[in-house]
Amino acid sequence: MLQSLAGSSCVRLVERHRSAWCFGFLVLGYLLYLVFGAVVFSSVELPYEDLLRQELRKLKRRFLEEHECLSEPQLEQFLGRVLEASNYGVSVLSNASGNWNWDFTSALFFASTVLSTTGYGHTVPLSDGGKAFCIIYSVIGIPFTLLFLTAVVQRVTIHVTRRPVLYFHVRWGFSKQAVAIVHAVLLGVVTVSCFFFIPAAVFSVLEDDWNFLESFYFCFISLSTIGLGDYVPGEGYNQKFRELYKIGITCYLLLGLIAMLVVLETFCELHELKKFRKMFYVKKDKEEDQMHIIEHDQLSFSSITDQAAGVKEDQKQNEPFVSPQPPALADGASDH
């Protein structure tokens, strides 16, 4: 008997705080996912980093042996300056791109990566004035971009998602949930094909050093706004039609970002995902909300009646004094 009572009380306790338990498992799962990613990246990339470090040490040692007139501190000073310039997008190699990093098309591409929070990091402001302007430009531009994307995605979603689903539901009588799921899957396939596979094939042809996997990797890193900066198009040696190419990439990034947000919004509107998300939200107590509403209405009504009573008393006090008529005169007036 006691065990059944204890078990029922535990079940009621769990059900009462179900949202909190789900949120706790969500936080734990996210932390475990972070640790899992760190373990995998470290185990995969650390051996390659060690090999690269060993190769660089061998090259440095061989270079110093072949050039005895050059000391190691001088070489390190030169290499440090070269690496610092490389971080700002300037290279001293003879086969590097001879184009400027801050012409109009490159600056337009940089502005689009800043406002979309992609931020490849291949080109950064050199001057203090440029850095200060970048801060002010981002503070104003990023919320402006969010507003712009929200408005565009809301309008596109109406024509691309809601109206087609409603049409098939009303015209053909299909289940609205089933139509929404099929539509979301088809929209996802079309978006991946048009903004990942096809652009990856194009980039693999236009970029000499990129294969299809690297091109697909760039598309995903860019449209997900991760922007690692290890692959940036249009930076190769003697890139043909570089200005037009940069403008095309800028348009691709904006359109691809809008398409990704439309797909995410379409999947978020699915009934199953809405139910799943609600598991982790704080549930409002309807009885408490109703009590707050009733108390608020009672307070408002009482305040209104008090104000009305006060106004009536003020009117009575302000009215001129009128003596009441005697009852006999009143009866006589009524007889006449």
Which has the higher per-residue pLDDT, 87 or 180?
180
Annotate 27-62 with b (16+ C-beta within 10 A) or e (fewer).
eeeeeeeeeeeeeeeeeeeeeeeeeeeeeeeeeeee
What phi-psi label fits residue 121: left (phi over 0), alpha (psi between -120 and 50 degrees) or beta? left
Residue 122's nearest CA partner among 109, 138, 133 is 109
What is the band of 125 on the pLDDT scale with cuts at 50, 70, 90?
confident
CATH code linked to domain 99-281 = 1.10.287.70
Q: Under 8 Å CB-to-CB from 220, ≥6 apart: which residues? A: 196, 226
State the pLDDT at residue 5: 53
Identify the weakest region by mean pLDDT among 146-150, 170-174, 325-329.
325-329
Burial class (CB in 10 A: 0-12, 13-18, 19+), 126: middle
Q: Is the pLDDT of residue 300 over 50?
A: no
Instruction: Give, to the nearest 10 degrees, the angle between helix 271-278 and helix 176-192.
Output: 90
Domain boundaries, the chain: 12-88, 99-281
**Stretch 184-202: mean pLDDT, rounded?**
96
Q: Is the pLDDT of residue 100 over 80?
A: no
State the pLDDT at residue 291: 55
DSSP secondary structure string, 246-259?
HHHHHHHHHHHHHH
State the pLDDT at residue 105: 85
What is the band of 65 on the pLDDT scale with cuts at 50, 70, 90?
confident
pLDDT tens digits for range 135-148: 999 999 999 999 99
Residue 177's nearest CA partner among 262, 269, 276 is 269
pLDDT tens digits for range 212-241: 999 999 999 999 988 888 888 887 666 777
Report the distance separating Cα 259 and Cα 153, nearest Å: 8
| Share above pLDDT 90 across residues of the chain, in percent, rounded to a whole number | 29
pLDDT tens digits for range 236-271: 666 777 788 888 999 999 999 999 999 999 999 888
Q: Is the pLDDT of residue 7 over 70?
A: no
Identify the weakest region by mean pLDDT among 36-40, 93-97, 324-328.
324-328
State the pLDDT at residue 288: 52
Report the distance separating Cα 34 and Cα 29, nearest Å: 9
Q: Is the pLDDT of residue 127 over 60?
A: yes
**Stretch 301-321: mean pLDDT, rounded?**
47
Burial class (CB in 10 A: 0-12, 13-18, 19+), 118: buried
